Amino acid sequence: MPFGWTWILMCALSCISLLIFTAVFPSLQQSELNSFLWTIKRDPPSYFFGTIHVPYTRVWDFIPDNSKKAFQQSHIVYFELDLTDPYTISALTSCQLLPQGENLQDVLPRDIYRRLKRHLEYVKLMMPSWMTPDQRGKGLYADYLFNAIAGNWERKRPVWVMLMVNSLTEVDIKSRGVPVLDLYLAQEAERLRKQTGAVEKVEEQCHPLNGLNFSQVIFALNQTLLQQENLRAGSLQIPYTTEDLIKHYNCGDLNSIIFNHDTSQVPNFINATLPPHERITAQEIDNYFRQELIYKRNERMGKRVKDLLEEYPDKSFFFAFGAGIQLGDFGPLTDSQPNLPHRVVVVGIRWRRRMM
Ligand SMILES: *[C@@H]1O[C@H](CO)[C@@H](O)[C@H](O)[C@H]1NC(C)=O
Ligand SMILES: *[C@@H]1O[C@H](CO)[C@@H](O)[C@H](O)[C@H]1NC(C)=O
Ligand SMILES: *[C@@H]1O[C@H](CO)[C@@H](O)[C@H](O)[C@H]1NC(C)=O
């Protein structure tokens, strides 16, 4: 049986795409498309909105007015991380680095290091041809972009290099230069002088990834490089792309916005030809991420949301979190009565999907 290797990866600004809810959804009507908005019934109401980490211009027109109105009417907007805070960015950057004095060349097996280096040279060479006239018109240059993403790669921890390699594909490069939806919302919140906040600390997003052990990381990096090498050789097509993700998001297709299909940021090795011991490693990594990045995170974020709502009963909150959904897969957070439609429970909070 082929297995799906599930990854939750970090994008440029390291937002894990993840929603902290699950529910039994009714079949979607046309009019409900892309209604990634849930209402918490109280007075004034609060909202929960599923964002996506792609250029906002690709999805903005498809976001229904009720979501935009909810955003405008809310007093306080909460994100996973505060992406507009320079501290967030610098903390993320340093969390990704190897300990002082260490270098990837010292850490990685020779073969892996050599292939990594070769692949990055290839990317650097190809980058000018991957960029669009539009990007060039905005003054975005290939050298600059390459350095912004991959500069200092020799100092990064292997797991972060692996994530980086995954975001250095032609499709992803073409979408650089426009704020992603979550960042755009943060900028809008600032512009509208809303109070903003974040439910997570950088370390909480970063440390779990650093916690994969060495053999697991090497395995993941090796697989990622193999995939990229196959792509380069033209013998492999990426099974899911950012385009698919955007399409599904715009169609409000919850079932398809499952993080393990989000391969623009996520390598998804559905490969039954892996030898058994490698398959076991892939499964272990998958389990680890599930535990660390879904279950534990759900619980933590859910609790903070709940505390905020209780502390400020007269405020209207808008929680904008990444929309990666794993239906029926949230263990203790799942409603114990899953037969009720529209019902979402996050650690005791009932979210109701907003109908148009
Ligand atoms: C890494 O973790 C896996 C699964 O927990 C374990 O089997 C393996 O021995 C560990 N490897 C190292 C080098 O610690
Ligand atoms: C990388 O993966 C291939 C194929 O699974 C394997 O043959 C090779 O030994 C791996 N290399 C390293 C350094 O783990
Ligand atoms: C599956 O894995 C094998 C061995 O690692 C590799 O040779 C093959 O190219 C992979 N197939 C895909 C589609 O990645």
Q: How much is the pLDDT for 274?
A: 76
Residue nearest to atom 14 of ligand 1 (CA): 213
| SS3 of the chain: helix, strand, coil, percent, to 5 | 50, 10, 40
Give the pTM: 0.76
pLDDT digits (tens, 9 = 90+) for 39-55: 888 889 999 888 877 78
CB 292 within 8 A of CB 208: yes
The Cβ of residue 115 has, within 10 Å, a number of other Cβ atoms equal to: 18
278 lines ligand 2 (CB under 6 A): yes
Element holding 288 (H helix, E strand): helix 276-289
Token pair listed for 120: 């990055």
One digit per residue, pLDDT tens: the chain, 356 residues? 222 222 233 222 222 223 333 222 333 333 445 568 888 888 899 998 888 777 899 889 988 888 999 999 999 999 988 877 888 888 888 999 999 999 999 999 999 999 999 999 999 999 999 999 988 898 888 998 899 889 899 999 999 998 888 878 888 888 888 888 888 999 999 999 999 999 988 888 888 889 889 999 999 899 889 888 988 888 766 655 667 777 777 777 655 554 443 333 334 454 556 788 888 888 788 778 777 777 788 788 888 998 999 999 999 999 998 765 322 222 222 222 222 222 222 323 333 333 32
pLDDT digits (tens, 9 = 90+) for 82-104: 877 888 888 888 999 999 999 99
Q: How much is the pLDDT for 73?
A: 95
Distance CA 183, CA 314 (A): 26
Measure 156 CA to ligand 3 centroid, in angstroms: 26
Rounded to 10 deg, the angle between the 202-210 and 86-95 helix axes is 10
229 lines ligand 2 (CB under 6 A): no
Q: Tell how many helices (H) and how many strands (E) occur in the chain.
A: 14, 7
Distance CA 256, CA 1 (A): 21
Distance CA 17, CA 53 (A): 7
All residues at 6 or more sequence positions from 294 whose CB lies less than 8 Å from its CB, including other chains: 8, 18, 326, 329, 330
Q: Which amino acid is at 67?
A: S
All residues at 6 or more sequence positions from 182 whose CB lies less than 8 Å from its CB, including other chains: 15, 51, 52, 53, 79, 80, 83, 320, 322
100 lines ligand 3 (CB under 6 A): no
Q: How much is the pLDDT for 155?
A: 96
Beta pairing partners, 48: 38, 319
Atom of ligand 1 nearest to the CA of 214: 13
220 lines ligand 2 (CB under 6 A): no
230 lines ligand 2 (CB under 6 A): no
Q: How much is the pLDDT for 262?
A: 36
Nearest of 3, 20, 4, 12 to residue 199 by alpha carbon: 20
